[in-house]
A and B are shown apart, each in its own frame.
Chain A
Amino acid sequence: QSALTQPPSTSGTPGQRVTISCSGTSSNIGSNAVNWYQQFPGAAPRRLINSKNQRSSGVPDRFSGSKSGTSASLAISGLQSEDEADYYCAAWDDSLNNWVFGGGTMVTVL
Protein backbone atom coordinates (compact mmCIF):
# COMPACT_ATOMS: atom_id res chain seq x y z
CA GLN A 1 0.00 0.00 0.00
CA SER A 2 1.71 3.17 -1.19
CA ALA A 3 1.44 6.39 0.79
CA LEU A 4 0.53 8.26 -2.38
CA THR A 5 -2.33 6.96 -4.50
CA GLN A 6 -2.15 6.81 -8.28
CA PRO A 7 -4.37 4.97 -10.76
CA PRO A 8 -2.61 1.76 -11.85
CA SER A 9 -3.09 2.52 -15.51
CA THR A 10 -4.46 4.95 -18.03
CA SER A 11 -4.56 5.07 -21.78
CA GLY A 12 -5.24 7.36 -24.68
CA THR A 13 -4.99 7.71 -28.41
CA PRO A 14 -2.23 9.69 -30.09
CA GLY A 15 -2.82 13.41 -29.70
CA GLN A 16 -5.18 13.01 -26.77
CA ARG A 17 -4.65 14.71 -23.41
CA VAL A 18 -4.27 12.39 -20.44
CA THR A 19 -3.85 13.22 -16.78
CA ILE A 20 -2.46 11.14 -13.95
CA SER A 21 -3.60 11.91 -10.44
CA CYS A 22 -1.57 11.53 -7.26
CA SER A 23 -3.49 11.70 -4.02
CA GLY A 24 -1.85 12.16 -0.65
CA THR A 25 -2.41 13.70 2.76
CA SER A 26 -1.65 16.86 4.67
CA SER A 27 1.64 15.35 5.86
CA ASN A 28 3.04 14.78 2.37
CA ILE A 29 1.55 16.49 -0.68
CA GLY A 30 -0.37 18.95 1.47
CA SER A 31 2.80 20.40 2.95
CA ASN A 32 5.65 19.41 0.64
CA ALA A 33 6.77 19.52 -2.95
CA VAL A 34 5.83 16.86 -5.50
CA ASN A 35 8.12 15.57 -8.22
CA TRP A 36 7.28 13.23 -11.08
CA TYR A 37 9.37 10.39 -12.50
CA GLN A 38 9.20 8.44 -15.72
CA GLN A 39 10.39 4.88 -16.20
CA PHE A 40 10.58 2.92 -19.43
CA PRO A 41 10.58 -0.89 -19.28
CA GLY A 42 13.95 -2.25 -18.26
CA ALA A 43 15.38 1.21 -17.61
CA ALA A 44 16.13 3.27 -14.52
CA PRO A 45 13.65 5.96 -13.52
CA ARG A 46 14.36 9.56 -14.39
CA ARG A 47 12.95 12.75 -13.01
CA LEU A 48 10.43 14.09 -15.49
CA ILE A 49 9.18 17.26 -13.84
CA ASN A 50 10.31 18.85 -10.62
CA SER A 51 8.20 20.56 -8.01
CA LYS A 52 8.64 23.92 -9.75
CA ASN A 53 7.04 22.42 -12.87
CA GLN A 54 10.39 22.50 -14.67
CA ARG A 55 10.95 19.69 -17.14
CA SER A 56 14.19 17.76 -17.11
CA SER A 57 16.49 18.04 -20.09
CA GLY A 58 14.99 16.47 -23.18
CA VAL A 59 11.47 16.26 -21.81
CA PRO A 60 8.99 17.74 -24.31
CA ASP A 61 6.75 20.59 -23.26
CA ARG A 62 3.62 18.48 -23.59
CA PHE A 63 4.33 17.31 -20.04
CA SER A 64 3.19 19.52 -17.16
CA GLY A 65 2.56 19.17 -13.45
CA SER A 66 0.26 20.83 -10.96
CA LYS A 67 -0.68 20.59 -7.30
CA SER A 68 -3.73 21.57 -5.31
CA GLY A 69 -4.19 20.81 -1.64
CA THR A 70 -3.35 17.19 -0.99
CA SER A 71 -3.37 16.14 -4.64
CA ALA A 72 -1.11 16.54 -7.62
CA SER A 73 -1.48 15.82 -11.32
CA LEU A 74 0.69 15.11 -14.30
CA ALA A 75 -0.73 16.05 -17.67
CA ILE A 76 0.39 14.86 -21.08
CA SER A 77 -1.01 17.05 -23.82
CA GLY A 78 -0.83 15.52 -27.25
CA LEU A 79 0.00 11.97 -26.25
CA GLN A 80 2.70 10.28 -28.35
CA SER A 81 3.60 6.62 -28.70
CA GLU A 82 6.97 7.29 -27.09
CA ASP A 83 5.18 8.37 -23.91
CA GLU A 84 4.31 4.77 -23.08
CA ALA A 85 5.97 4.31 -19.72
CA ASP A 86 5.34 4.11 -16.00
CA TYR A 87 4.96 7.39 -14.12
CA TYR A 88 5.50 7.93 -10.40
CA CYS A 89 4.84 10.84 -8.10
CA ALA A 90 6.88 11.36 -4.94
CA ALA A 91 6.95 13.69 -1.94
CA TRP A 92 8.49 13.99 1.50
CA ASP A 93 6.20 12.85 4.33
CA ASP A 94 6.50 14.84 7.57
CA SER A 95 4.75 12.19 9.68
CA LEU A 96 6.76 9.24 8.42
CA ASN A 97 9.88 11.42 8.13
CA ASN A 98 10.81 9.81 4.84
CA TRP A 99 10.21 9.97 1.11
CA VAL A 100 7.07 8.36 -0.24
CA PHE A 101 6.21 7.32 -3.78
CA GLY A 102 2.95 6.65 -5.52
CA GLY A 103 2.34 3.13 -6.75
CA GLY A 104 2.93 4.17 -10.33
CA THR A 105 0.71 4.61 -13.38
CA MET A 106 1.27 2.75 -16.61
CA VAL A 107 0.42 4.86 -19.63
CA THR A 108 -0.60 3.01 -22.76
CA VAL A 109 -1.00 4.63 -26.16
CA LEU A 110 -3.80 2.94 -28.08
Chain B
Amino acid sequence: QVQLVESGGGLVWPGGSLRLSCAASGFTFRDYYMSWIRQAPGKGLEWISYITSSGDYTKHADSVRGRFTISRDNARNTVYLQISGLRAEDTAVYYCARELGDLGFDNWGQGTPVTVSS
Protein backbone atom coordinates (compact mmCIF):
# COMPACT_ATOMS: atom_id res chain seq x y z
CA GLN B 1 0.00 0.00 0.00
CA VAL B 2 1.02 3.59 -0.50
CA GLN B 3 2.99 4.96 2.41
CA LEU B 4 4.49 8.40 2.95
CA VAL B 5 6.67 8.99 6.01
CA GLU B 6 7.91 12.46 6.86
CA SER B 7 10.87 13.23 9.08
CA GLY B 8 13.24 16.05 9.92
CA GLY B 9 10.99 18.37 11.88
CA GLY B 10 11.88 19.86 15.23
CA LEU B 11 12.48 22.98 17.28
CA VAL B 12 14.50 25.65 15.53
CA TRP B 13 15.51 29.23 16.27
CA PRO B 14 14.10 32.09 14.21
CA GLY B 15 16.25 32.44 11.12
CA GLY B 16 17.28 28.81 11.30
CA SER B 17 17.03 26.03 8.75
CA LEU B 18 15.80 22.46 8.48
CA ARG B 19 15.53 19.83 5.79
CA LEU B 20 12.34 17.83 5.82
CA SER B 21 12.20 14.44 4.13
CA CYS B 22 9.31 12.32 2.92
CA ALA B 23 10.07 8.69 2.15
CA ALA B 24 7.64 7.05 -0.23
CA SER B 25 6.85 3.39 -0.75
CA GLY B 26 4.18 1.18 -2.27
CA PHE B 27 4.00 2.94 -5.63
CA THR B 28 6.20 4.00 -8.55
CA PHE B 29 7.44 7.23 -7.01
CA ARG B 30 9.04 8.62 -10.19
CA ASP B 31 5.64 8.71 -11.92
CA TYR B 32 3.97 11.17 -9.55
CA TYR B 33 3.99 14.83 -8.68
CA MET B 34 4.48 15.48 -4.97
CA SER B 35 3.48 18.40 -2.76
CA TRP B 36 4.13 19.76 0.69
CA ILE B 37 1.19 21.15 2.65
CA ARG B 38 1.34 22.63 6.13
CA GLN B 39 -1.05 23.30 8.98
CA ALA B 40 -0.33 25.85 11.67
CA PRO B 41 -1.66 25.07 15.17
CA GLY B 42 -5.43 25.39 15.21
CA LYS B 43 -5.48 26.59 11.61
CA GLY B 44 -6.41 25.22 8.22
CA LEU B 45 -4.40 23.61 5.45
CA GLU B 46 -1.98 25.65 3.35
CA TRP B 47 -0.36 24.27 0.20
CA ILE B 48 3.26 25.41 -0.01
CA SER B 49 5.18 23.55 -2.73
CA TYR B 50 4.95 21.03 -5.53
CA ILE B 51 7.43 19.25 -7.76
CA THR B 52 6.86 17.43 -11.02
CA SER B 53 7.54 13.71 -11.38
CA SER B 54 10.96 14.23 -12.96
CA GLY B 55 11.83 17.14 -10.72
CA ASP B 56 12.31 19.52 -13.63
CA TYR B 57 9.74 22.03 -12.39
CA THR B 58 8.84 23.29 -8.97
CA LYS B 59 6.35 25.83 -7.63
CA HIS B 60 6.16 27.48 -4.24
CA ALA B 61 3.52 29.56 -2.55
CA ASP B 62 4.26 33.26 -2.23
CA SER B 63 4.45 32.90 1.54
CA VAL B 64 7.55 30.70 1.31
CA ARG B 65 9.11 31.56 -2.06
CA GLY B 66 12.80 32.32 -1.73
CA ARG B 67 13.01 30.61 1.66
CA PHE B 68 11.76 27.08 0.97
CA THR B 69 12.98 24.72 -1.75
CA ILE B 70 11.38 21.46 -2.78
CA SER B 71 13.45 18.73 -4.42
CA ARG B 72 13.33 14.98 -4.97
CA ASP B 73 15.55 11.98 -5.42
CA ASN B 74 13.73 9.39 -7.50
CA ALA B 75 16.46 6.83 -6.85
CA ARG B 76 15.77 7.11 -3.12
CA ASN B 77 11.98 7.53 -3.48
CA THR B 78 12.19 10.66 -1.37
CA VAL B 79 10.98 14.22 -1.64
CA TYR B 80 12.60 16.98 0.39
CA LEU B 81 11.72 20.43 1.62
CA GLN B 82 14.64 22.65 2.54
CA ILE B 83 13.33 25.38 4.76
CA SER B 84 15.39 28.39 5.78
CA GLY B 85 14.96 31.88 7.17
CA LEU B 86 12.38 30.41 9.50
CA ARG B 87 9.87 32.67 11.17
CA ALA B 88 7.42 32.11 14.01
CA GLU B 89 4.60 31.93 11.47
CA ASP B 90 6.26 28.90 9.85
CA THR B 91 5.42 26.88 12.96
CA ALA B 92 3.21 24.09 11.66
CA VAL B 93 2.85 20.42 10.95
CA TYR B 94 4.28 19.75 7.49
CA TYR B 95 2.66 17.05 5.39
CA CYS B 96 3.82 15.56 2.13
CA ALA B 97 1.17 14.34 -0.25
CA ARG B 98 0.96 12.51 -3.55
CA GLU B 99 -0.69 14.64 -6.18
CA LEU B 100 -3.01 13.41 -8.92
CA GLY B 101 -3.83 16.69 -10.68
CA ASP B 102 -7.59 17.06 -10.96
CA LEU B 103 -8.04 14.19 -8.51
CA GLY B 104 -6.24 16.10 -5.78
CA PHE B 105 -3.98 14.73 -3.07
CA ASP B 106 -4.84 11.08 -2.72
CA ASN B 107 -2.32 10.04 -0.10
CA TRP B 108 -0.82 11.98 2.81
CA GLY B 109 1.92 11.30 5.29
CA GLN B 110 1.44 11.56 9.04
CA GLY B 111 3.21 14.92 9.15
CA THR B 112 6.32 16.25 10.85
CA PRO B 113 6.08 19.20 13.26
CA VAL B 114 8.23 22.27 12.95
CA THR B 115 8.36 24.77 15.81
CA VAL B 116 10.14 28.07 15.36
CA SER B 117 10.89 29.66 18.69
CA SER B 118 13.66 31.24 20.70
Contacts and interface: CB of A to CB of B under 8 A. Distances in A.
Contact of B47 (A35, A51, A99): A99
A103 B44 contact: yes
Interface string B84-107: 000000000001000010111111
A44 B109 contact: yes
B87 to A, nearest CB: 19
A44 to B, nearest CB: 5
Interface string B41-70: 000111100100000000101000000000
A96 to B, nearest CB: 8
A88 B103 contact: no
B45 A35 contact: no
Interface in A36-61: 37, 39, 44-47, 50-52, 56
A40 B22 CA distance: 22
30 contacts: A2-B44, A33-B103, A35-B104, A35-B105, A39-B45, A44-B95, A44-B108, A44-B110, A45-B37, A45-B45, A45-B105, A47-B106, A47-B107, A50-B100, A50-B106, A51-B102, A52-B103, A88-B45, A90-B104, A90-B105, A97-B59, A98-B47, A98-B50, A99-B37, A99-B47, A100-B47, A101-B44, A101-B47, A102-B44, A104-B44
